Amino acid sequence: MMTMSKPLSAGQAQRYHHEQLRDVGENYYSEGQEILGEWDGQLAVAWGLEGPVDETQFARLTQGQHPISGDQLIRIQTAHAQASASGERRHTAEHRAAWDLTISAPKSVSVTALVGGDERVRAAHRHAVDAALRATEPYVQARIGGNHPPETTGQWVAAKFEHDSARPVAGYSAPQLHTHTVVFNLTTMANGRARALQPRELYRTQQYATAVYRSELATELMAIGYEIERGASGQPEIRGYTPDYLEASSPRRQQIETRLEEEGRRGAAAAQIVAHKTREAKSHASHDEMRGQHQRLAQTFGEQPSRVVDEAHERATARARDLGPNPNDEPSTGSARQHAVLYARDRNLERDAVPHERDYLRDALSRSMGRATVSEIQAEF
């Protein structure tokens, strides 16, 4: 699913990049000593940002500057104290530098890619992430100011970082495939003038982007031989794992859910706050030590990741020889997308006289998950 953070200040964004996003210390399935990241977005392309994310260019963007020339593109506000008419001292808001869009793979997908060692699954996650980001970027808007409505620009400049482990719980970092996309507070209007973002529509697009990610992920996984079932939150889970094993592989989620229950809170926003409050210090275990823990846990539960991966390879091979059915054929994709769009139409018109297009698409994608692509659902709509 996709979650969008609260705005980060320039200092927060730069520390986040240096201390968290590039840190390979708890990325137990990545090679090398540093996570370099990739540029993303139409504005990045327009500015010629290619290859690994450069630290200097990243820092300039957090300050509202052009990443190449360093020219100041938007005026930024520095936090300072000022006295009101009544003498009360107030602190002004600091410049909003960026937001972090985090897209996380379902637990069974993470375990299959990382513990099971199927790089095809990791590639499926990357494809689905790109699809979700491409579905989100058109909703980027420029903040005009005053009483003027925001202008839709449909372009951002962002930096994308893939991680493969959750925060440690009692020294154990569970396998968790997820991608951070830092969207900078910059866009350009039709006249070429740079403006700060109005993020309201991006927040509203989270559920739609989540549906796009899940739909594309399910389609990709089924194409390479995996059987998919719908999880408790509507996410595509790879069939073949016991609930006990997936729960044992999710101590961080259990930690957050327990804390939410203790505090009597619920919802994504509350979960983000609790996640920050319960973060433990980084683990000092080596890559080999942590991966060994993952493998020992898998052995305790009957080597489920290896078995699931082997069965997927067998299905893909049989399908290639026309010896096995394609799960996408039941029901047919044409029937699936028709039923999905009709379901989304009826569901949304029951609740709203004029639903937004992305609400129809969100529900249709959730309904058809794995049996129709995003482009097919859009065409049917």
Average pLDDT over residues 311-315: 96
Confidence at residue 334, expressed as pLDDT on a 0 to 100 scale: 77
Confidence at residue 354, expressed as pLDDT on a 0 to 100 scale: 77
pLDDT digits (tens, 9 = 90+) for 154-200: 999 999 999 998 877 666 788 899 999 999 999 999 999 999 999 99
Amino acid making up residue 107: K
Of 322, 126, 311, 108, nearest to 226 by C-alpha is 311
Confidence at residue 80, expressed as pLDDT on a 0 to 100 scale: 46
Least confident segment among 110-114, 268-272, 344-348: 268-272
Q: 23 in helix, strand or coil?
A: strand
The overall average pLDDT reported for the chain is: 85
Average pLDDT over residues 24-43: 81
Beta-bridge partner residues of 236 = 230
> Considering Cα of 216, then 222, then 225, then 226, what sign does the dihedral take?
positive
User: Please, which pLDDT band fits residue 336 given cuts at 50, 70 and 90?
Assistant: confident
Residue 49: is its pLDDT beyond 50?
yes
Average pLDDT over residues 361-371: 91
Confidence at residue 275, expressed as pLDDT on a 0 to 100 scale: 46
Kindly state the helix (H) or strand (E) to which residue 345 belongs, with its residue range.
Answer: helix 333-351
pLDDT digits (tens, 9 = 90+) for 149-161: 999 999 999 999 9
The CA distances from residue 186 to 190, 193, 206, 245, 371, in Å, are: 14, 10, 19, 43, 37
Average pLDDT over residues 101-109: 96
User: Please, which pLDDT band fits residue 278 given cuts at 50, 70 and 90?
Assistant: very low
> Considering Cα of 153, then 198, then 358, then 231, what sign does the dihedral take?
positive
Confidence at residue 90, expressed as pLDDT on a 0 to 100 scale: 57
Amino acid making up residue 27: N
Residue 366: is its pLDDT beyond 70?
yes
pLDDT digits (tens, 9 = 90+) for 133-148: 999 999 999 999 888 8
For residue 72 the two structure tokens come to 């100041």
Confidence at residue 44, expressed as pLDDT on a 0 to 100 scale: 97
Would the pTM count as exceeding 0.75?
yes
DSSP for 35-102? ---EEESHHHHHTT--SBPPHHHHHHHHTTB-TTT--B-S------EEE-TTS-EEEPPPP--EEEEE
pLDDT over 70 percentage in the chain: 81
Alpha-carbon gap, residue 212 to 132, rounded angstroms: 5
Q: How many helices, marked H, and strands, marked E, lie in the chain? A: 15, 13
* Peptide bond just before 331 cis, omega within 30 deg: yes
Alpha-carbon gap, residue 296 to 306, rounded angstroms: 13
Residue 79: is its pLDDT beyond 60?
no
Of 152, 206, 201, nearest to 181 by C-alpha is 206
For residue 290 the two structure tokens come to 């942590």
User: Please, which pLDDT band fits residue 323 given cuts at 50, 70 and 90?
Assistant: low
Confidence at residue 280, expressed as pLDDT on a 0 to 100 scale: 44
For residue 89 the two structure tokens come to 């001292």
pLDDT digits (tens, 9 = 90+) for 229-243: 999 999 999 999 999
Average pLDDT over residues 73-94: 64
Residue 3: is its pLDDT beyond 80?
yes
User: Please, which pLDDT band fits residue 289 given cuts at 50, 70 and 90?
Assistant: confident
Dmax (CA) of the chain: 81
